[in-house]
């Protein structure tokens, strides 16, 4: 008597057969399904908050999804898309520069404006669509990047975490993060593949989308230092020569220059040398008052403001130490030194210039490649738990930062 395919007691195909069928599905389709499912879950959360949203400075009560997805920084991007940047900086009674559009890079709102003109669609519809598509592209590139270092299962799980991360709602709202993250991941993939000249236009556009130019330049410096000290750290056989070092040097120089270009443009347009930095300082003045930007002082000031002293300084030191251990733990070597050096370069940049506040969690999104470390354990219980925690933290983030509850001092 003939029998059909081997089945488990429950009547399902054995795990090996399921894995074989799973591998027949193209990787990009798997990532797309995960991304769409994650966006539907996050979208349901956003709609739930929109239904209970009261009238506020951004929207009327119970706004539509698109209106609710275009609040906070989305309102600034709308201003830029409609009227550009001010040539005269707004100031308060004491002469201090107040919050204005110069805090936001131009690539995203100008792209949105161009698509609005071409399609006739509203700012909200175009801005959210650009973020959704850019987020999808970022997820696909992220999976390719993880696949350079991890096996299929771990690379895919890292991508799942990328799609359900606590601040992944920025992939479907009127924020520039999705576009910036897509460009960053492309640049990192090109770096890993040593395609330096191809990286140049990506780095240029990245620096005009999110303020990461100086951080990426620092990454190139760290990469060249590691290559010189021990080539095997970056999967090279010999130390760099002048010829082989020239392409990364050019990329690093261009990235550094584009990181300085936006402050220079703000100066040229407004006639105020510190137009950009004074604008950025306006956002932290409600916390610590008006202070000059001193490198690495903001986090010390912020830790003291949030937790008092000496508790704030101690917690900051512990956090920096924990991050260092996390990035340089032996298990972390699985994701390659380039991605870990990016995490270090970006965190050093943040420590130098950023003031810790409620938007910190969103600002940390560019270190997403370090999710490859989180994805290393194979335990199913662990993986289910981590995804559940991410979804729970999404709700917490939306409740704490996105939803406008009266006088809200926790912008996302």
Percentage of the chain with pLDDT > 70?
Answer: 95
Q: What is the pTM of this model?
A: 0.94
411 located within any domain: no
383 located within any domain: yes
Query: Using an 8 Å Cβ cutoff, are 81 and 185 in contact?
Result: no
1 located within any domain: no
pLDDT in tens, 20-58: 666 778 999 999 999 999 999 999 999 999 999 999 999
Buried b (16+ CB within 10 A) or exposed e, 122-132: ebbbbbbbbbb
Rounded average pLDDT over 176-193: 98
91 DSSP 8-state letter? B
| Confidence at residue 112, expressed as pLDDT on a 0 to 100 scale | 98
407 located within any domain: no
**Cβ neighbour number for residue 333 with a 10 Å cutoff:** 13
Note the helical H segments in 165-233: 177-192, 196-207, 213-229
| Confidence at residue 1, expressed as pLDDT on a 0 to 100 scale | 44
Rounded average pLDDT over 229-252: 97
| Confidence at residue 14, expressed as pLDDT on a 0 to 100 scale | 63
pLDDT in tens, 101-131: 999 999 999 999 999 999 999 999 999 999 9
72 located within any domain: yes
Tokens of 243: 């010829």
98 located within any domain: yes
Beta bridge partners of 280: none
Residue 6, pLDDT > 70, answer no
> Which residue range(s) make up the domain with 387?
15-402
Residue 354, pLDDT > 50, answer yes
How many domains does the structure of the chain reveal? Answer: 1
* Per-chain mean pLDDT for the chain: 94
286 located within any domain: yes
Distance CA 412, CA 400 (A): 8
108 located within any domain: yes
């Amino acid at each position: 008597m003939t029998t059909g395919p081997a089945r488990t007691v429950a009547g399902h195909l054995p795990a090996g057969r399921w894995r074989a069928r799973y591998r027949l599905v193209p990787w990009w389709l798997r990532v797309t399904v995960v991304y769409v499912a994650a966006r539907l879950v996050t979208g349901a959360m956003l709609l739930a908050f929109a239904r209970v949203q009261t009238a506020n400075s951004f929207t009327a009560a119970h706004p539509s999804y698109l209106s609710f997805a275009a609040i906070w920084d989305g309102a600034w991007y709308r201003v830029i898309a409609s009227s550009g940047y001010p040539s005269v900086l707004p100031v308060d009674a004491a002469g201090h520069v107040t919050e204005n559009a110069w805090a936001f890079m131009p690539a995203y709102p100008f792209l949105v404006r161009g698509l609005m003109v071409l399609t006739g669609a509203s700012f909200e519809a175009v801005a959210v669509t650009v973020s959704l598509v850019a987020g999808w592209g970022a997820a696909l590139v992220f999976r390719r990047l993880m696949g350079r270092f991890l096996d299929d299962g771990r690379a895919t799980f890292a991508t799942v975490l990328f799609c359900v991360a606590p601040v992944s709602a920025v992939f479907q709202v009127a924020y520039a993060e999705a576009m910036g993250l897509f460009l960053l991941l492309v640049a990192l993939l090109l770096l890993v593949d040593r395609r330096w000249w191809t990286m140049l236009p990506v780095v240029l556009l990245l620096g005009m989308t999110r303020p990461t130019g100086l951080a990426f330049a620092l990454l190139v410096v760290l990469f060249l230092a590691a290559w010189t000290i021990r080539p095997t750290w970056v999967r090279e056989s010999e130390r760099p020569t002048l010829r082989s070092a020239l392409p990364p040097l050019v990329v690093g120089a261009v990235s550094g220059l584009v990181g300085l270009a936006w402050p220079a443009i703000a100066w040229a347009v407004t006639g105020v040398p510190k137009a950009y930095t004074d604008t950025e300082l306006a956002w932290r003045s409600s916390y610590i008052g008006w202070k000059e930007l001193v490198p690495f002082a903001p986090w010390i000031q912020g830790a003291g403001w949030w937790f008092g002293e000496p508790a704030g300084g101690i917690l900051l030191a512990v956090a920096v130490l924990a991050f260092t251990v996390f990035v340089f733990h032996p298990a972390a070597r699985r994701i390659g030194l380039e991605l870990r050096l990016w995490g270090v370069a970006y965190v050093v940049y943040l420590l130098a210039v950023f003031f810790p506040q409620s938007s910190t969690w969103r600002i940390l999104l560019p270190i997403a490649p370090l999710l490859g470390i989180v994805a290393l354990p194979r335990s199913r219980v662990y993986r289910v738990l981590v995804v559940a925690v991410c979804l729970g933290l999404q709700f917490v983030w939306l409740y704490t930062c996105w939803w406008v509850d009266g006088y809200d001092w926790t912008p996302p």
